[in-house]
Amino acid sequence: MTDLPWKWTAHKAVEELKSGRISPLELIDSCEKRIADTNNLVNALPTLCFDRARKFAKIYEQNKTKLLNNSQLPDYHLHGLPIAIKDLMPVKGVRSTMGSTLFKDNIPKKSDVLVSRLESNGAIIIGKSNTPEFGAGGNTFNDVFGATLNPWDTSKTCGGSSGGAAVALATGQVWLAHGSDLGGSLRTPASFCGVTGLRPSPGCVPKSSSKLPFHSLFVEGPMARNAIDVGLFLDAMAGHEYNDPLSYERSSISYKTAAESQELPNKIAYSPNLGFAPVVKEVKDICENISNLMASNGATVELAEPDLSGAIDTFHTLRAAQFAAEKGNLLKDFSHQLKPELIWNIQKGLTLTAQEIYEAEIKRGEIYSKFVEFFEDYDLLICPAAIVPPFDVNLRYVDESAGVKFDNYIDWIAITYVLSLSSCPIAATPAGITADGLPVGVQLVAPPRREDIALSSAGWLENKLELNKNVPMEPINNGS
């Protein structure tokens, strides 16, 4: 193993911290140097809080002996590991803009319950990762901090909306990065940056910073450079919090242990496009290679996908309703400070009828039932994580793929957002590299609340392909 801490896996770093062979302050120093060396090329972590981090680290070090002698200290304690939090989530005392000029000077007085949970489990926050305005869109840029660039080719997008998180991981700025996912916000950046992320089942990871605490399409989740580290992070995230009415007690299964098991399920469904998505040939070929690999290693792999008829309209309605509820109050007085795509989303939500919304909720229930029935026959569903490889960062979104034109800014990520309706845990992990040297990811969809299956499968795939060893990396500057 290298002596450069930023190249370590997260679980290696935690073991070094736990043993006392390295201190949190030393890892914070490593982060600061690595960010200084790379962030000017990629703009992943525009807001840093090293003074706060060192304060937390010193307090942790003062209590270290007591903590290590405490038999109640959980196995998933992170022992002072530096992490990044997405700029949609409030961290007390740290600038939290949500990518909006309306909040460019916002300093929260209270952290989200997930932030507090992570800090109590030994995480130390060193900065906020860049995100599109209010997390809307699959390309990470905003008027506060500008665009975040893909380290595999800095002329390309890193995806969104957890783009800053994915890039911070890929360049070695942090070992673990918090992400979130409504329609693919965690999975698309993982695919575009060659890292691994998990959209967990609703309620697995608690949160509190929402006007809609009973809304379950939007979830928080872990991102890392490999499945074991994702499992470690999910162990530190998961559990019940009273602030989140949907949250539930953590599983008796260690997610890290599940990822370490690296087991392939017996019966797997493979879909090249979920029955509708215009996936480009190169991406389709790479993902088909994954299905063939699984079949050649003993799994029964069949071409199949659940019935997703009506899923696109259902997601559009529920997403628009959410944006109208959360951001509708901004439209009247601040429309000139909102990007046009966001205005379109809010306006669509404000014009919805009650019948349209409840019909969408009913349809979502039907889709969930179809997935439950589907997983009576299969243990896992695999499909592409994006319909295209990373594209020009100057394009706001993909408007055409494989001969199909899109009339809005989110339908190019329909291959991820229709799966959000299922409430199933979904890992996005590297599947291959294009001829141009860009990463391609695959989605591993497991039955409801079976994050262990998704992570174990991701671990198996990593072990076979070893693509996770491509990161962390030096950014490749192509003159953007």
Q: Which amino acid is at 456?
A: S
Q: C-alpha 226: how far from its chain's center?
A: 13
Question: Which residue in the list 23, 180, 185, 457 is annotated as catalytic?
Answer: 185
Q: In the annotation, is 110 catalytic?
A: no
Which ranges in 70-185 belong to alpha helices (H)?
113-120, 163-170
Residue type for position 51: D
Annotated active-site residue 456? The verdict is no
Q: Which of 23, 161, 201, 422 is catalytic?
A: 161
**CA 19, CA 5: separation in Å to the nearest integer?**
15
Determine the Cα–Cα distance for residues 227 and 33; give it in Å rounded to an integer.
26
E strands in 281-411: 300-303, 380-384, 400-401, 404-405
Query: What is the rounded distance in angstroms from the CA atom of residue 392 to the CA atom of residue 147?
Result: 12
The phi, psi pair for 269, rounded to 5°, reads -100, 135
Determine which one of 18, 86, 128, 256 is catalytic: 86
Is 428:190 a contact under the CB 8 Å cutoff?
yes
Of the candidates 174, 15, 25, 7, the residue with the CA atom closest to the CA atom of residue 85: 174
161 is catalytic: yes
Strands (E), 204-247: 219-224
Tokens found for residue 240: 């019940």
Q: Return d(Cα 186, Cα 183) in angstroms, integer.
A: 8
Report the C-alpha gap between 178 and 78 in whole angstroms. Answer: 14
Contact 87, 128 (CB under 8 A): yes
Backbone torsions φ then ψ of 147, nearest 5 degrees: -95, 150
Would you please indicate which residues are annotated as catalytic (active-site) residues?
Answer: 86, 161, 185
